[in-house]
Chain A
């Protein structure tokens, strides 16, 4: 069984649309994350949730809104999509999250293309 899963794997949409990416982990972890990987492969954290509570919120446009219905799920909703939002979005999870020793395990990524 996949430990961290994301849907969809590919998402192609028009500028101005609203879209969501879903993430689920079956590892029993407390903390989940969203990362953005740009075209140059640079990885940067966007958000982190610990037990459904937002703990990291980087400088991300407020068009991006994460939602954690329970600690096994973390969804990312993006409003009014722009060309610059095209990237690969990775979900990750870790056991406790607030300990720097925790290893983060990543999902397969969602490649978002905005036309």
Chain B
């Protein structure tokens, strides 16, 4: 499809396990963003990738969170030793480099940590 895709759509895991969330941005978009949306809250910025530049990781809540972007396209958000407070919807967005105000969002991955 032409939009941002994310997988899995839902993930249920046990506390302490690691999870990987995947994002496929829109073809041609060099900027990629991860956000976290907790129940009843707005979106919280996590990390930003732009081309081959060093990512902005300033929004990652702890060192259990990490993200990679391989080949300037697909990105993986990894959460190690998951905690119940990590339960949220994780949204990925992409944009053209100079159109960061026009971010296109994927459907999100709903993570539930039991």
Are A and B co-members of a single complex? no
Residues of B near any A CB (own CB < 8 A): none
Residues of A near any B CB (own CB < 8 A): none
